[in-house]
Amino acid sequence: MQITTFPHPAEEAIELKLTGRFDAHESEIFRIALTDALGNGNHHIRVNLANVEFVDSTALAELVRGMKRCREARGDLTLVSPSDPVRVILELTKLDAAFSIV
Amino acid sequence: MTDSKLDSYRKWSTTPLVERPRYSVVIPAYNEEWRIVPTIGAIAMHMSSFDVPWELIVADDGSTDSTVELVEELDLVNLRLLLAEKNGGKGSAVRRGVLQARGDIVLFADADQSTPIEQFEALAAQLNDGYDVVVGSRAAEGADVANKSLSRKIFSSGLSFIVRGLFRIPVADTQCGFKMFTSDAAELLFRRQLVDEFSFDLEILYLAGKFDLKTCEVPVTWIDAPGSKVDAAKVAVEFLRDLCVIRWNDLRGRYDADNHPLINDPHYPQPKATQAA
């Protein structure tokens, strides 16, 4: 999985654009990217999932953990444009109700 | 105007099939509470995108965790959950699932999505070209294998050598959990399957050769899923034992319909042609 980080132009947020399969093998690089973003004082994080074809349970847990970290820092974590399979997985796991999804 | 893929999925998940499915996907599951739901989501979304009738079968193998409850709660109308009173081995779960499948094409796929469902089309194309059995392969030229441990690489190489050299099974990767069958081939093979454990794949491929079914391998992308239940050393011993058992079964004629220990048992699943609609 590849992660590209850039400031979101319209909001005071950092966007992490993920590409590929987000599974247990990739959770650490996501955690590092999120830690870097938070460490730079950005507490509003957008995670773009448009180019992610699959998320496993470890990845979902990582996203929940990330959301908690952002909220503890008085920010938030928003999921952006999840691909169709990721959207379905979020629905089946009922996590679509837990996240802010745009 | 065609519906979006997401619309096709929503229709599949809420509208019961009224015709025979074109495709059946069988997932064997044993204590898969951590992995089963994302896998079902990925498979359901991809298979629905073809916009043809298809069914999903989860063949539980006596799970003691919450696998069954999680699958039941999904409430997907074209998902059938088959229960087992006790853990009988992966081979028994796949057999139950495949023998219940109604599709023209039957795929069984592991619950960990280690072979992504997006490989489905590559295998189906070979069935459409006249093959009876198509095997997803991590050893065929062009396969993309990620994160495979050294022990599993050694195990696979040794296995391949024995299987091809001594048992004349012309398949380099017998154990990949992603295999596709025509409905006739599935019926013929899985009704004769006697091995319930890990090496049932080998028996199925041995039988495919015995009954002259046209078989090929298709290279797949494969990502080793963490938490794999495969213990390479233990499995190697079981595998060698089962190789001998399969050969012995054949020599004794136990795969012939008249002499098969299960086919003539009235409690054994009946052929689909004799089942009520």
pLDDT of residue B2: 46
Q: What is the pLDDT of residue B271?
A: 60
Best of A28, A49, A54 to disrupt the B interface by mutation (most B CBs within 10 Å)? A54
DSSP A98: T
CB B138 within 8 A of CB B156: yes
Neighbouring CB atoms inside 10 A of B60's CB total 23
Which pair of structure tokens corresponds to residue B226? 């963490």
pLDDT at position B1: 40
Instruction: Tell me the nearest-neighbour CA distance from A62 into chain B, angstroms.
Output: 14
Residue A42 amino acid letter: N
pLDDT at B269: 63
Report, as an integer, the average pLDDT of A45-55. Answer: 97
b/e A48-76 (16+ beta carbons within 10 angstroms → b) = bbeebbbbbbbbbebbeebbebbeeeebe
| Residue B107 structural domain | 5-268
Residue B172 has what pLDDT?
Answer: 86
Structural domain for A94, as ranges = 2-101
CA distance B49 to B47: 5
Strand partners, A44: A76
> Hey, is B152 helix, strand or coil?
helix
CATH of the domain at A52: 3.30.750.24
Q: What is the count of structural domains for chain A?
A: 1
* Total tally of structural domains belonging to chain B: 1
Interchain contact, A85 vs B226, CB within 8 Å: no
On whether residue B220 sits in a domain, the answer given is: yes
This prediction has a pTM of 0.91
More confident position, B276 or A10: A10
Residue B246 sits in a domain whose CATH number is 3.90.550.10
Residues B8, B49: Cα–Cα separation, whole Å: 6
Contacts of A91 in chain B (CB under 8 A): 41
* B273, part of any domain: no
**pLDDT attached to residue B46:** 97
Cβ-based contacts of A87 with chain B (< 8 Å): 6
Query: At CA B77, angle to CA B75 and CA B82, rounded to 5?
Result: 80
Residue B223 lies in a domain: yes
User: What tens digit of pLDDT does each residue of A63-93 get?
Assistant: 999 999 999 999 999 999 999 999 999 999 9
pLDDT for B198 = 83
Per-residue pLDDT of chain B (277 residues; tens, 9 = 90+): 445 999 999 999 999 999 999 999 999 999 999 999 999 999 999 999 999 999 999 999 999 999 999 999 999 999 999 999 999 999 999 999 999 999 999 999 999 999 999 999 999 999 999 999 999 999 888 898 876 666 666 766 777 777 777 777 888 888 899 999 999 999 999 999 999 988 899 999 999 999 999 999 999 999 987 766 667 777 778 888 898 899 999 999 999 877 777 776 666 666 665 444 3
> Which of A23, A84, A92 is closest, CB to CB, to B5?
A84
